[in-house]
Chains A and B, each alone.
Chain A
Amino acid sequence: MRNLRIVGALVIAVLVGAAGAALLANIVRRQEEARNPFYRVVELTDETQDPAMWAKNFPQQYDGYARTVDQVRTRFGGSEAWPRTPTKADPRTVVAQSRLEEDPRLKTIWAGYAFARDFREERGHAYMLEDQTYTERQIAAKQPGTCLNCHASTYVAFKSLGGGDLVKGFEKMNALPYAEARKLVTHPVTCLDCHEPKTMQLRITRPAFMEGMRALKATQGVRDYDVNTQATRQEMRAFVCGQCHVEYYFKGPEKRLVYPWANGLKVDNILAYYDAQKHRDWTHADSGAATLKAQHPEFEMWNQGIHARSGVACADCHMPYMRVGSLKITDHHVRSPMLNVNRACQTCHKWSEDELKARVLTIQERTFALRNRAMDAVVALIGDLKRARAGGRGDHELAAAQELQRRAQFLLDFVEAENSTGFHAPQEAARILGEAIDFARQGQLALRDGRR
């Protein structure tokens, strides 16, 4: 009995000692980690493009960045890795699924435009340059160097092209043919596109965003707005993404990249801007309408939603903070929050992962159902216009219906091309789709009644 007690006491003493030592070791390690948030191993300059160099100083952030190669599906987005046989013209062995095959109505809506030839689900940041270089849209139409603004790390190339002047370099690259401009860049978006290398502070490096924000702020009574000196740190956590995840067009023969925000960020403001500019992206092959293509307006749509209003930036959900030891870092694995619900949502919303996913899915399914109705309506109008033309009615007779097609189609595309299936601003997305349906049906009525 007594022996047993002694052994028991020994076991307890050993366990307590071991637990105390483990706790102590853990505390010491955490304190060590907290002492130095990073180690300066290499000197980074404004010319250091290669992310592998930045990785030496910031290995945790780089690990996340490198993981944007992941191809994971979500219910309405993400990308699937489709194997393909490489050809001489296109050496890719893996691509994302084709959106045109998924929904052939898109081919009708974009008839006569390069998007009707090849349009795939977007893959992660790591693929942006490769996927643009080899898309069949390059064959369907002669693309300008402007495209590279958002598909490559252009900061260093802009500066060297412009002899140190970023805006001059931007203008020069826009005017080059794509193939020539492509030779000037090597990486997809890299560290220095968003970070100042000395302080790591966020910065804007895309002149189109600087100009777009200046025009937008002017409508709010702020003159000569300079985003790099006047934006708050939290604003910058959305603005760096807004440099590319926006609606845009190429202005004039010099193909200048312009963000159409001079009237505001809402779809109606943007449409009014294009109308005033008398801009069309292309002439619709079936209907003859002066049509527009909306491009991933995530920044604009997010701006109309509750998260933007509450001061939640893109990075809060798409690059949420994560703890590594005692350090708090930004997860540089940019991805859908649906693949990272605990960090992306649960920091603010204390509900179970299933509940949060169900809420998002409800919004997206409703948006998707309405989007399908809007798409049917636009396709129906295009069909009516096509038949009217085939029946010999001239463009002057069809002007009212063509104008309504332009509007309906742009509104629909604004939600369709936006990569949140309505989540960034659910009511706004529903409003836009509702109006798109109305415009398309009005167009059919105009044809029936012979309105011009």
Chain B
Amino acid sequence: MTGDTGVADGSARIARIRHTLGAAVVVVALAAGLALGISAYTFVYAHGASYLTNDPKACANCHIMREQLDGWIASSHRAVAVCNDCHAPHDLLGKYTTKAVNGFWHSVAFTTGRFHEPIAIGARNRAVTEGACRTCHAEIVQLIDRHPTRSGPLDCITCHRSVGHLH
């Protein structure tokens, strides 16, 4: 970005470029501010903060998981575990990373309307839940899980899928 013509001509050009650049920065700042504002408003409007809590009601904020919440209310695990106990890792970083990743993909899915119904758990989240089973029921799992089968270690959820909620 250096002038390659006469000196007088060059300084005027530099001033022009500076002016244009300044205007561009203002536009970007405006756009960024607008994006931030809209996102912040959406976050507040959609009760975004509730997703940072452990309240099971937050999971049914967007209608789609109402059946799962209803099922959990009638389930045996209601007395001992909320959604996050089984669906989020138990360490702080893992928990909020999982929430952020899921929050992002759920938002994409619901906004575009492109997702399979009935909803089904994905591989990553299934692993999280399997881990939760094994953490709380460690004593009994240790007794069962001594001999890995040909297809890998035993999996709690295959047989005990309905303990948290029926569907």
What is the interface of chain A, defined by CB distance below 8 A to chain B? Answer: 2-3, 6, 9-10, 13-14, 16-17, 19-24, 26-28, 30, 34, 322-323, 326, 328, 342-343, 346-348, 350
1/0 contact string of B79-121 vs chain A (CB within 8 Å): 0000000000000000000000000000100110000111010
- B1 to chain A minimum Cβ distance, whole angstroms, is 8
Q: Which of B38, B117, B166 contacts A20 (CB 8 A)?
A: B38
Known: A2-B21, A323-B117, A342-B118. A30 touches B63 (CB 8 A): yes
A16 touches B35 (CB 8 A): yes
- B87 to chain A minimum Cβ distance, whole angstroms, is 16
28 contacts across the A-B interface (CB closer than 8 A)? A2-B21, A10-B31, A13-B28, A13-B31, A13-B32, A14-B31, A14-B35, A16-B35, A16-B39, A17-B34, A17-B35, A17-B39, A21-B38, A24-B38, A24-B42, A27-B46, A28-B45, A30-B110, A34-B63, A323-B63, A323-B64, A323-B117, A328-B66, A328-B67, A346-B118, A346-B120, A347-B118, A350-B120
CA distance A13 to B63 in the complex (A): 29
CA distance A376 to B39 in the complex (A): 72
- B108 to chain A minimum Cβ distance, whole angstroms, is 8
Tell me whether B52 is interfacial, beta carbon within 8 Å: no
A350 touches B27 (CB 8 A): no
CA distance A347 to B107 in the complex (A): 22
Task: Give the residues in chain B near A350, CB-CB below 8 Å.
Answer: 120, 161
Tell me whether B134 is interfacial, beta carbon within 8 Å: no
Instruction: Determine which residue in B35, B41, B45, B66 has the highest number of CB atoms from chain A within 10 A of its CB, and name it.
Output: B35
B21 touches A343 (CB 8 A): no
Q: Which of B21, B31, B63 contacts A17 (CB 8 A)?
A: B31
CA distance A24 to B111 in the complex (A): 9
- B164 to chain A minimum Cβ distance, whole angstroms, is 13
B41 touches A24 (CB 8 A): yes
Task: Give the residues in chain A near B111, CB-CB below 8 Å.
Answer: 19, 22-23, 26
Residue of A nearest to B42 (CB): A24
> Could you tell me the dominant secondary structure of chain A's interface residues?
helix
What is the interface of chain B, defined by CB distance below 8 A to chain A? Answer: 1, 21, 24-25, 27-28, 31-32, 34-35, 38-39, 41-42, 45-46, 62-64, 66-67, 107, 110-111, 116-118, 120, 161, 166-167
CA distance A14 to B39 in the complex (A): 12
Task: Give the residues in chain A near B161, CB-CB below 8 Å.
Answer: 350
Known: A6-B25, A13-B28, A13-B34. A20 touches B118 (CB 8 A): no
Task: Give the residues in chain A near B118, CB-CB below 8 Å.
Answer: 342-343, 346-347
- B105 to chain A minimum Cβ distance, whole angstroms, is 12
Q: Which of A6, A22, A26, A34 contacts B21 (CB 8 A)?
A: A6
Residue of B nearest to A348 (CB): B167
B42 touches A20 (CB 8 A): yes
Known: A2-B21, A20-B35. A27 touches B167 (CB 8 A): no
Q: Which of A13, A14, A342 contacts B116 (CB 8 A)?
A: A342
Task: Give the residues in chain B near A322, CB-CB below 8 Å.
Answer: 117
Residue of A nearest to B107 (CB): A23
Task: Give the residues in chain B near A3, CB-CB below 8 Å.
Answer: 21, 24
- B62 to chain A minimum Cβ distance, whole angstroms, is 7
Instruction: Determine which residue in A13, A14, A350 has the highest number of CB atoms from chain B within 10 A of its CB, and name it.
Output: A13
B35 touches A27 (CB 8 A): no
Instruction: Determine which residue in B21, B46, B120 has the highest number of CB atoms from chain A within 10 A of its CB, and name it.
Output: B46
Residue of B nearest to A24 (CB): B42
- A153 to chain B minimum Cβ distance, whole angstroms, is 32
CA distance A350 to B118 in the complex (A): 9
CA distance A16 to B120 in the complex (A): 28
CA distance A19 to B107 in the complex (A): 10
